[in-house]
Structure 1
Amino acid sequence: MHKLKLIFVSIMILFLQGCADNTSKFNDYLEKGLDSLITEDYAKAEVYFENAVEINNEDRKAQNLLEQTKYMKSAVYYYENGNEDEALGNLSIVIGVEGGSVGLQSKAKKLEETINQKIITFDDFKGNYAQFESTPYASSIHVHLQITDDEIISGKKSSSYYLESIIEKRIQDDILEIDSSYQEMGSEEIEISTGKYQIRYEDDKKVLNVLNTGGVFYEVDEQQLSDEGWNLPLN
């Protein structure tokens, strides 16, 4: 009986030592994983968190950290390879995980903001623009340019508007290329041309550079045009 008791005690000691060793390893993996997040070595952090989850797959903190790290690693990969849509999808998951790394969420939000600022779509180019006589917004509008879904419309106050129908459009970074067709008045021949436009922002207003001609147009609204007596074309 005494011998059985000694065996039982020995087993319990070994069991408790094993639990203590596992707890120590678990905490060590978590700590090393968090350190790897700070240095943005997401591949290494993922391995550390996987090891931690293998030791204790019921620990929510470890599971959340592993999930965040996997998606952050994917987000960075897609971003560096030019796939912003996939990157944004993965970043939204990182940000949405509760009980993980607040620091990693902050990094994901910053990268998300960077991507959103970088992505320019055709909608950014659409609108009314004006080329002024001299100082933008402080002098009279010389030329009005309007970009819609289907047309490029331009003209001067004293003349009729010039209309081009958009055939195809392509965007590379901040430059829009538009293939358009137009017909000279009195001619049956349809001309095809390609225009290049570059957009930037100054004080929250869009500035449109027409790269073909070197013209610079500034964003205006219909009220500004109306105040100067422009008769706007029908959209």
Structure 2
Amino acid sequence: MYKHISLPLILLCLFVLPSCSSHEYQDALDKGIESLGKRDYHQAAIQFELALKKKNGDEDASSYLEQANYMDEAVSAYEEKEYGASLESLNTVIANKGTLKTLQTEAEKLKAEVLADQETASSFEDTMKVVKELMAKENYSVARKKLRLLEKRLESEDSLSSYQPELAKLTKQVDLASKEQEVTQPEVKKTLEKSDEQRDSYQLYENGRYGFSMYYPKGLRMDPPPTNGDGARFFNDQFEITAYASHTNVINDEETIEMYYENDLNSITEEIAYQRITEDWYVLSYEENGKIIYKKFYFNDQVGTTFVISYPASEQEKYGPITSHIAETFTPSTNS
């Protein structure tokens, strides 16, 4: 009896299975299109993949899957503020002649939003760049005014929220640097007015190998010079100066002062109180473990010359003028 029943059953299955598969294909396709309408592009892509499994090589499912993936990538990139990548994906959707009309309209709408936010971010970044240039020129009052305008923009434009940490850091740097400027500028003036006294209080150091020189306070002890003759260290219980030089463009023949500057910035974990960079030198000053660190670096295509000064932050009044005098009288290397 079972032998007679099995043949009809087999024939029934052969007829029903393709029909079931066709139904599942259409169901997945419909759900995918529905998800596109809800802007759930990730879910739409999953449904179109299911449709392709039920109907391998189907042009509609394949085309819709591609469109859903591009839209999903565009949205993700936009959320990460990667505007260029987002626009690239959106342009692909818009340019595709097989794109669903509703999806193309949505892509064009999102593109307009991305372009607007991109322009807003670009404008914001340009102003932050101006702030950094003003800081380099020690024009802290104007820099602070521009920072206040940027803070107001942050409050009113949600798309700029990711800039909050960087803006807060810049604001703190301007505040610290302007306070230091208020302290050191009168001291520098006072120090320069005492030039005769300074000449009696300082002595000259000249480096025999690289040719740089500086005036350092008399009474400081000096470490035995290194065997390679690249510099010297002078110190007492509170104050320390280290000056040295080395060849540039040794490892990389296209070195720039910006490379050294960025490397130093990345190596400093403390808040920088003062920073300035020019075409051939830069200065960084910050407090670390209760000490003021002042570093100045000179760059040319043959030699880089550095001096670093450190002293207790509590002794700023005493050693600030000395640091300023050393910086004013330091002569970097021009030797090859």
> What does residue 82 of structure 2 align with?
83
1:172 to 124, 127, 132: 124
CA contact (8 A) 1:120 1:174 kept: no
Q: Secondary structure at the match of 2:119?
A: coil
Task: Report how far residue 46 of structure 1 moved.
Answer: 1.4
Q: Secondary structure at the match of 1:53?
A: helix
Task: Report how far residue 119 of structure 1 moved.
Answer: 2.2
Structure with the greater alpha carbon radius of gyration: 2
C-alpha deviations, 1:37-63, integer Å up to 9, x for none? 111112211111110011112211100
Q: Secondary structure at the match of 2:129?
A: strand
Q: 1: CA distance between counterparts of 2:49 and 2:21? A: 14
Corresponding letter in the other structure for 2:124: Q
Q: 2: CA distance between counterparts of 1:57 and 1:98? A: 22
> What does residue 92 of structure 2 align with?
93
Q: Secondary structure at the match of 1:119?
A: helix
> What does residue 102 of structure 2 align with?
103
Q: 2: CA distance between counterparts of 1:40 and 1:180? A: 43
Task: Report how far residue 121 of structure 1 moved.
Answer: 8.6
> What does residue 72 of structure 1 align with?
71
> What does residue 54 of structure 1 align with?
53
Corresponding letter in the other structure for 1:116: L
Instruction: Provide closer, same or farther for how the CA distance between residues 191 and 176 of structure 1 changes in structure 2, counting only shifts above 3 A.
Output: closer
Corresponding letter in the other structure for 2:17: G
Q: 1: CA distance between counterparts of 2:138 and 2:119? A: 25
CA contact (8 A) 1:64 1:98 kept: no
Q: 2: CA distance between counterparts of 1:33 and 1:64? A: 12
**TM-score (normalised: structure 2):** 0.36
Higher strand proportion:
1
| Structure 1: stretches of 5+ with no match in the other structure | 123-169, 182-189, 199-235
Task: Report how far residue 83 of structure 1 moved.
Answer: 0.7
The equivalences for 1:4-23 within 5 A come to 7=7, 10-23=9-22
Task: Report how far residue 173 of structure 1 moved.
Answer: 5.9
Corresponding letter in the other structure for 1:84: Y
Q: 1: CA distance between counterparts of 2:137 and 2:102? A: 56
Higher helix proportion:
2
CA contact (8 A) 1:22 1:55 kept: yes
Q: 1: CA distance between counterparts of 2:31 and 2:11? A: 30
> What does residue 32 of structure 1 align with?
31
CA contact (8 A) 1:36 1:42 kept: yes
Q: Secondary structure at the match of 1:57?
A: coil
Q: 2: CA distance between counterparts of 1:11 and 1:112? A: 54
Instruction: Provide closer, same or farther for how the CA distance between residues 21 and 81 of structure 1 changes in structure 2, counting only shifts above 3 A.
Output: same
Corresponding letter in the other structure for 1:20: S
Task: Report how far residue 94 of structure 1 moved.
Answer: 1.9
Report the more deviating stretch, 97-106 or 63-72: 97-106
CA contact (8 A) 1:71 1:94 kept: yes
CA contact (8 A) 1:61 1:100 kept: no
Q: 2: CA distance between counterparts of 1:10 and 1:191? A: 89
Q: 1: CA distance between counterparts of 2:11 and 2:95? A: 42
Q: 1: CA distance between counterparts of 2:105 and 2:125? A: 26
Instruction: Provide closer, same or farther for how the CA distance between residues 88 and 10 of structure 1 changes in structure 2, counting only shifts above 3 A.
Output: same
Aligned residues: 141
Task: Report how far residue 175 of structure 1 moved.
Answer: 3.9
Task: Report how far residue 13 of structure 1 moved.
Answer: 3.0
Task: Report how far residue 76 of structure 1 moved.
Answer: 0.5
Task: Report how far residue 100 of structure 1 moved.
Answer: 3.9
The equivalences for 1:121-160 within 5 A come to none
